[in-house]
Amino acid sequence: MSPLVIGVIGVIVLLILLFMGMNIGFTMVVVGFFGYAIIVNMKGAMGLFSSVPFSTIANYSYSVIPLFVLMGQFAFYAGISQDLYAFCHKWIGRVPGSLSSATIVACAFFAAICGSSTATTATLGVVCLPEMRKYGYKDTLACGSIAAGGTLGILIPPSTGFILYAIAAEESIGTMFAAGIIPGILLAAIYVMTIMIQVKMNPDLAPKSEKVSLQEKMQSLKGVIPILILFVIVLGGIFSGIFSANEGAAVGAFIALLFLIGKRKASWENIKKSLADTLRTSCMIFMIMVGAYIFGYFLTISRIPTTLANGIAASNLPNLVVILLILAIYAVLGCFIDSLPLIVLLTPIFLPIVQQMGMNTVWFGVLMVMTMQLGLITPPVGMCVYVMGGIAKDVPIMKIFKGVVPFVIALIVTILLVALIKPLSLGLPTLLYGSAG
């Protein structure tokens, strides 16, 4: 049996096991290990198994992951989200569906210190849903806007998705962060426009907006100051070259800890929860990365990436068509597999194709992460929807999925805009670094 056939069988087995609900990192380790053993030999597979876990987890450059996660946890337990939501509500209070729109804006701000879509959904869901219900918002719009806004967590830096892609594609984390800012702002704006259109078409979805005085607006500014401080210092320091991504993550975690102390919420219980949540999330990500590297070695010796790249190159299809086909594969698989492992798993397969076509890999990375957002709000996985369902226990899951349909359309439109207008993703990195990718 040829290595290529063994590789195809391995991929099929992997997908079957994932659809059965097995742990993603463990599944990639098992399939990659035995696949490598079949093609090479057991001794080689054992050598791989003995070296990859340590070299991955002990890699200094990967310390950026737990540090950014820790920054988000400290910010969460400092209670920044409540003040942030109050600020957004006050400043866009006259917009149709103002509370839902404020939720989107609050999610965008919170994403700038969090990096996780599910954490953004969970945090803002607890804060925003009771407020929208109090004012008579329909559950479809309320839950749909929170779940959709939560997806911004994987797009607006510091994004865990961009960190994993940058590591897998050997790109600069700072460049990927810069590339995600404008698409993130654009998507948030289109989400707000989507809410306005829905409310205009069906006024029963949300009550009329209330007027807010200038004094109330000015008083609410304190809610956004911690986020702006973190964003300017951390990302500003990374973009300007004052410190590396790892150092920026450490500085951000320390500043978030100061906010926790300053708000008098640095109890032993909150610190313990912050560290425990960080450990849990980081271990999950590192397990996925270890599995992806072992599975990646198996894919490489099976020659699947090379064969696939050569086949697409020989098809003479336009480059944009090829990119859209790749994104369609990501979108379909994203409906069944969580976004982070899918980024690590598929990047080694499709990145050579993008490089062989001469396409910009930073641009492709932004499109890929945005496509992963679709999987966060579409069935059957739809993690942001299920997180929202856990918060709104009295709302049927299918009702929440119905509420996110307009936002799915908005997301697809935004992906196409970023695909067709490259400066949306490459303009800022080029301005900051002179080039992008």
Sequential DSSP letters for 83-95: HHHHHHHHHTTTS
Q: Return the pLDDT at 380.
A: 67
184 vs 190: CA distance, rounded Å: 10
Range with the poorest average pLDDT among 3-17, 50-64, 77-91:
77-91
Q: Is residue 397's pLDDT more than 90?
A: no
Mark out the alpha helices in 335-396 (DSSP H runs).
339-356, 361-376, 383-391
Cα dist. 209→100, 134, 297, 317 in Å?
11, 13, 56, 50
232 vs 251: CA distance, rounded Å: 12
Q: Is residue 399's pLDDT more than 70?
A: yes
For residue 183, cis peptide bond before it (omega within 30 degrees of 0): no
Nearest residue to 341 via CA among 92, 161, 167: 161
Q: Return the pLDDT at 326.
A: 86
Give the angle subtended at the CA of 147 by the CAs of 142 and 151, to the nearest 5°: 145
pTM assigned to the model: 0.80
312 vs 351: CA distance, rounded Å: 12
Tell me which residue has tokens 């579409």: 378
Answer for the pair 133, 395: CB distance below 8 angstroms, yes or no. no
Nearest residue to 376 via CA among 344, 348, 407, 350: 407
State which of 38-52, 289-303, 333-347 shows the largest mean pLDDT.
38-52
Q: What is the average per-residue pLDDT within 31-54? A: 87
In angstroms, how far is CA 287 from the centroid of its own chain? Answer: 18
Higher pLDDT, 171 or 231: 171
Answer for the pair 153, 116: CB distance below 8 angstroms, yes or no. yes
Any idea how long the chain is? 437
Q: Is residue 214's pLDDT more than 90?
A: no
Q: What is the average per-residue pLDDT within 192-196? A: 93
- Mean of per-residue pLDDT scores for the chain: 84
DSSP secondary structure string for all residues of 404-433? HHHHHHHHHHHHHHHHH-THHHHHHHHHHH
Q: Is residue 144's pLDDT more than 90?
A: yes
pLDDT of 335-387, one tens digit each?
A: 766 677 778 778 888 888 888 888 899 999 999 999 988 888 887 667 788 88
How confident is residue 410, by pLDDT bands cut at 50, 70 and 90? Answer: very high
Q: Return the pLDDT at 105.
A: 86
Segments forming the whole domain that contains residue 214: 3-433
Total number of domains in the chain: 1
Give the angle subtended at the CA of 262 by the CAs of 103 and 79, to the nearest 5°: 25
Nearest residue to 257 via CA among 270, 242, 276: 270
Q: Return the pLDDT at 407.
A: 95
Nearest residue to 88 via CA among 70, 114, 106: 106
pLDDT of 85-121, one tens digit each?
A: 777 767 776 777 888 888 898 888 888 777 778 778 8
224 vs 216: CA distance, rounded Å: 14
